Chains A and B, each alone.
Chain A
Amino acid sequence: MVGRPVRASRGGDHFRDVLIVAGAILMAATLYLTFLYAPTDANLGVSQRIFYFHVPVAILSLLSVVVVAVASALHLFRKGERSDAVAYASAEVGFVFCTIAIVTGAIWAKPVWGVWWTWDPKLTLTLVLWFIYASYLMLRAFGPKGSQGARYGAVLALIGAIDAPIIYYAAELWRSTHPNLIIGPAAPGDALDPKMLVAVLVSLIAFAVLFVFLIIERYNLKKAETDVDEIFQYAA
């Protein structure tokens, strides 16, 4: 691996530029759709507008742990360094997204439910996911270095990813304060006003672009870190 250029190729740079420009435009569009285009909800009022940030970020934090698990499985099968770098990058970004999902959820819960937090199944399981991300990152930071640490992390990620589908279906499986599914494969078709649906889908794409961009940046950085580590090992 040593000797391979750390920076992405010219083609990679172009893709990076495309993501930055597309992300900026989509984020601006999301702000417009959230605050001006989407109608105010009949029951929840203006507080419902946080939905356009809370839900996309929450979906991506669930998706992220699945990415970590799939990349980890690939790493265990093929021992590839790249798949481990993808897993690690996705775990860091997922941790940030999961934190934002919990914080925006708390901000929304206070005016609507009357409390910042309650031990409802969906909320509790999301907190568990947050701890899974945290323990993965701590394991990678303080556990064994190199390929052994990568393998330990991979096993933790595979077990941790079980949480994602359970969180998604939590409000359907158990009695919950959290609303039932509004978007996604198991949601009823009429749960959302058509204009609200447009706003949340554009927001989801915008945050997905940001998500991919952050993972690519972190992936390149992780590869550079690994290269530097190897140089030090050879030198020692």
Chain B
Amino acid sequence: MSINETDDIPEPSRMAHRIKVFVGLAVVIGALGFLVYTAFQSASVYFYTVSEIKEIGPTDEGRLVKVNGKLVQGSFVREDASTIARFTLVDTERPDTLSAVHDGVIPTDLFFNEHSEIILEGSYGDDGVFYSESILVKCPSKYVAAS
């Protein structure tokens, strides 16, 4: 029983065989890497910015999008005796703002932190209000000691 099939191939052609296999392998690996990269680049982005969502306009019925921005300090208002909260997000680079409504739990640990960015998932309505269904807080990429 042959453990290694290439054992019975003569030496020179065995070398050529190996080179062919490795060139083939290199091409496959290169192509896969390129495909992964380009597929991710062209696929829809993980979130839109506030300016982008305003440019794109209202979301189609039944579709969910994510939007990223910073909470405008002091804009957070909770409707009396309800779980509905209203607040405004501002683009991280431009002055565009977006009013948003969220019905549910707010992750309060970092939601109100001025360094946090907030990612809302929901739909952008015809009335110019973003109806959020879930909230994600994006924390800063820097860790500093508490004073």
A162/B29 in contact, CB under 8 A: yes
Q: Does A141 count as interface, using CB distance less than 8 angstroms? A: no
Q: Does A28 count as interface, using CB distance less than 8 angstroms? A: no
A227 vs chain B, min Cβ distance (A):
14
Comparing B55-63, B71-79, B80-88, B133-141, the segment that makes contact with chain A is B133-141
Given A43-B110, A114-B107, A158-B29, are A195 and B119 also a contact pair (CB < 8 Å)? no
Cβ < 8 Å to B, chain A residues 152-208: 155, 158-159, 162-163, 166, 171, 173-177, 179-182, 190-193, 195-196
Given A39-B146, A113-B107, are A175 and B36 also a contact pair (CB < 8 Å)? no
Comparing B40-48, B93-101, B123-131, the segment that makes contact with chain A is B40-48
Which of B28, B111, B143 has the most chain A CB atoms closer than 10 A to its own CB? B143
Number of B positions contacting A (CB below 8 A): 40
Number of A positions contacting B (CB below 8 A): 46
A-B CB pair tally, cutoff 8 Å: 108
Residues of A within 8 A of B16 (CB): none
B141/A182 in contact, CB under 8 A: yes
A183 vs chain B, min Cβ distance (A):
10
B99 vs chain A, min Cβ distance (A):
20
Q: Does A135 count as interface, using CB distance less than 8 angstroms? A: no
Q: Does B68 count as interface, using CB distance less than 8 angstroms? A: yes
A43/B3 in contact, CB under 8 A: no
Contact of B109 among A77, A111, A193 (CB under 8 A): A111
Q: Does A112 count as interface, using CB distance less than 8 angstroms? A: yes
A200 vs chain B, min Cβ distance (A):
10
In chain B, what residue has the closest Cβ to A44?
A: B139
B45/A175 in contact, CB under 8 A: yes
Q: Does B4 count as interface, using CB distance less than 8 angstroms? A: yes
B143/A48 in contact, CB under 8 A: yes
A112/B137 in contact, CB under 8 A: yes
A112/B139 in contact, CB under 8 A: yes
CA distance A41 to B143 in the complex (A): 6
Where the two chains meet, the residues of B that have a C-beta atom closer than 8 Å to any C-beta of A are: 3-4, 18, 21-22, 25, 28-29, 32-33, 36-37, 40-41, 45-47, 68, 107, 109-111, 113, 115-116, 119, 134-147
Where the two chains meet, the residues of A that have a C-beta atom closer than 8 Å to any C-beta of B are: 39-45, 47-48, 51, 76-77, 79, 111-115, 118-121, 146-147, 155, 158-159, 162-163, 166, 171, 173-177, 179-182, 190-193, 195-196
9 contacts between A and B (CB under 8 A): A43-B116, A48-B143, A113-B107, A114-B136, A147-B4, A159-B29, A159-B32, A175-B68, A191-B141
